[in-house]
Amino acid sequence: MFAIVRDGSMQFRAEKGATIRLAYRKDAEPGATLTLDQVLLVGDGGEFTVGTPTVKGATVTARVAGMTKGPKLIVYRYRRRKNSDKKRGHREKFTDVVVETISAGSK
């Protein structure tokens, strides 16, 4: 069984036991439980339940595994012939969760 879940502006495929890298949540501590209720699609074998826009009553329960940082991104801008350049970089923070259960809700 799998589900397509929306978190913020991104969508993820969730399967039991899979690790998903969500956007950073400041208040989530390792070991805490998150309930993702914006489930767009639930699939079980060859059967699919597609929501309009979400599947009614469907939820995905996940346990917070920890916080991580993504790869370092370098942003370099310059203007030719103007002696002007700018180099900046950042690392985005993520919250890693492990999917525990997927509830299909009503059909």
pLDDT, one tens digit per residue, over 3-30 is 999 999 999 999 999 999 999 999 999 9
Q: Say if CB 37 and CB 59 are below 8 A apart.
A: yes
pLDDT digits (tens, 9 = 90+) for 64-96: 999 999 999 999 999 999 999 999 999 999 999
- Res 45 pLDDT > 90: no
Task: State the pLDDT at residue 46.
Answer: 86
Distance CA 101, CA 1 (A): 10
What is the pTM (predicted TM-score) of this model? 0.81
Q: Say if CB 12 and CB 78 are below 8 A apart.
A: no
Domain extent at residue 62: 2-103
Residue reference for tokens 């969730």: 14
- Res 107 pLDDT > 80: no
Task: State the pLDDT at residue 106.
Answer: 65
- Domains contained in the chain, number: 1
Task: State the pLDDT at residue 35.
Answer: 95
- Res 63 pLDDT > 90: yes
